[in-house]
Amino acid sequence: MKRFVLAAATATLLSALPALAAETHYTIDAEHTYPSVEFPHMGISVFRGKFKKTSGTVTLDRTAKSGKVDITIDIASIDFGHAKVDQNAQEKDWLDVAEHPTATYKGSLKFSGDTPSGVDGELTLRGVTQPVALTIASFKCIQHPMRKKEVCGADAEGDFDRAAFGMTKMSDNGLGRIHLRIQVEAVRDD
């Protein structure tokens, strides 16, 4: 009888403890994720382009307030809305698509309260890896009405100097600053 009472008391105590942290895994929705860049064009105007092919994963642990992102970008999918600029961007002294067809961004989520607010990560571009921190401007998860699964979305942004990645042509006097934005949606894996 004592064993039964002890087992029941232990079970009651354990059920009162908070659940162990559990990671939730998400797959990037390529049709709703578009990393984009904007940068000065010779100091005259600002060029803006987006990458149309992206894949990756997000891991989120809401209890532990942690998570990871791992995004791969198809560099040849850059679209500035101008064929000549797209072609120039893919050449050796710029993105060098022939030698480096993909870029990656990998990082750890930072939280503000219960919500992801930033990413401490590393961008690998043209075979060079540099730290690039992103600020998450918005983050939201919902039960998708058509997919019947949880979908999370975020807008993240940050800056880097393209010269640090070997793109030094016309990059001095602030012209090498690139503003990176990653608009992302990811579907929960089940």
Domains of the chain: 19-188 (2.40.128.110)
Tell me how far apart the alpha carbons of residues 78 and 86 are, in angstroms, rounded to a whole number. Answer: 6
The whole-number average pLDDT for the span 127-146 is: 95
* 36-51 tens-digit pLDDT: 999 878 778 888 999 9
Of 22, 20, 21, residue with least CA distance to 188: 22
Specify the pLDDT at position 41.
80
* 93-124 tens-digit pLDDT: 888 999 999 999 999 999 999 999 999 999 99
Per-residue pLDDT for 12 more than 80? no
- Which spans in 41-188 are helix H? 83-89
Specify the pLDDT at position 129.
97
Specify the pLDDT at position 60.
95
Long-range contacts of 91-98 (CB under 8 A, 24+ apart): 93/167, 93/169, 94/167, 94/169, 95/125, 95/126, 95/167, 96/126, 96/166
Specify the pLDDT at position 21.
55
Of 62, 66, 132, 82, residue with least CA distance to 103: 132
Q: How far apart are the first and last CA of the chain?
A: 42
- pTM reported for the whole predicted model: 0.84
